[in-house]
């Protein structure tokens, strides 16, 4: 049997957002590797072994997947959202680059998924409808100084911004600083969207003017989207619509 690795995105939570391409490889797999809550989304069946592991062991998990594929297993590494956006794809390739040469001969590919910022954007309108950036606010992989620099340059560029991993329990101060920097750098009342558990039964979406935002509005299950200076709100009965127009006048 010739093994392979597929690094697959399960989307943000709802099964209706898993692509047929990903469903097909899950049906063919012999082994599933991933962070425990994502592996828990895969149905058990005969012939399939589930390998759940803890957060922060992404490189160990990648090596395990690559070793099993080399032995002939059909391995799916599962990520929430899209595997290429702050998820497992980069980790697997870091392991390939640092690993034994025979890993480079493996059949390995990435299957995209609906990433959380685009699901969150869809749920409230189209806040990312014009130029935008995506920043991982977790500072365990980069210095805070770089995050602050990017926030200030993104505000100057007038990008809408999407933040992943905004506020960890162990280092909550980063998001306090993030909101302080944005309030100063943006200086207006643009809307900020806090989308928690997006597309799941317990989804919660809050839309808050930037000056009124507070750090406790986010946790690690929240995607935060900050509008650009041109982002607009359409009020109506029920939830308002937040969107960024396509054009910027001269």
Token digits of residue 133: 């950036």
CB nearer to its own copies: give 136 or 211.
Answer: 136
Burial class (CB in 10 A: 0-12, 13-18, 19+), 185: middle
Burial class (CB in 10 A: 0-12, 13-18, 19+), 250: exposed
CB nearer to its own copies: give 99 or 211.
Answer: 99
Q: What's the min distance (Å) between Cβ of 115 and its own copies?
A: 7
CB nearer to its own copies: give 160 or 179.
Answer: 160
Q: What's the min distance (Å) between Cβ of 62 and its own copies?
A: 11
Q: Work out whether strand 232-234 and strand 241-243 pair parallel, antiparallel, or are unpaired.
A: antiparallel
Q: What's the min distance (Å) between Cβ of 165 and its own copies?
A: 11
CB nearer to its own copies: give 60 or 156.
Answer: 156
Nearest to 116 by CA among 76, 164, 75, 77: 164
d(CA 214, CA 188): 15
d(CA 172, CA 179): 12
CB nearer to its own copies: give 49 or 140.
Answer: 140
Token digits of residue 32: 């599933």
Q: What's the min distance (Å) between Cβ of 245 and its own copies?
A: 6
Q: Find out whether 130 and 229 touch, Cβ atoms under 8 Å.
A: no
Q: What's the min distance (Å) between Cβ of 159 and its own copies?
A: 6
């Amino acid at each position: 049997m010739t093994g392979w690795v597929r690094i697959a995105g399960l989307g943000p939570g709802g099964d209706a957002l898993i692509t047929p391409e990903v469903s097909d490889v899950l049906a063919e797999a012999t082994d599933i590797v991933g962070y425990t809550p994502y592996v828990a989304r895969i149905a058990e069946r005969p012939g399939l072994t589930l390998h759940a592991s803890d957060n922060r062991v992404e490189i160990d998990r990648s090596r395990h997947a690559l070793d099993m594929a080399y032995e002939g297993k059909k391995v799916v590494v599962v990520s929430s959202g899209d595997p290429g956006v702050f998820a497992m794809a980069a980790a697997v390739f870091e392991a390939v680059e640092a690993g034994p040469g025979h890993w480079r001969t493996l059949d390995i590919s990435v299957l995209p998924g609906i990433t959380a910022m685009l699901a969150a954007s869809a749920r409230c309108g189209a806040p990312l409808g014009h130029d935008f950036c995506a920043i991982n606010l977790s500072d365990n992989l980069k210095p805070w100084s770089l995050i602050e620099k990017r926030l200030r340059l993104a505000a100057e560029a007038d990008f809408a911004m999407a933040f992943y991993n905004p506020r960890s329990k162990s280092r909550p101060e980063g998001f306090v600083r993030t909101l302080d920097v944005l309030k100063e750098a943006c200086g207006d009342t643009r809307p900020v969207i806090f989308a928690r558990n997006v597309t799941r039964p317990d989804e919660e979406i809050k839309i808050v003017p930037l000056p009124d935002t507070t750090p406790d509005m986010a946790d690690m299950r929240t995607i935060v989207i900050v509008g650009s200076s041109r982002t607009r709100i359409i009020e109506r009965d029920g939830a308002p619509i937040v969107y960024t127009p396509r054009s910027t006048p001269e």
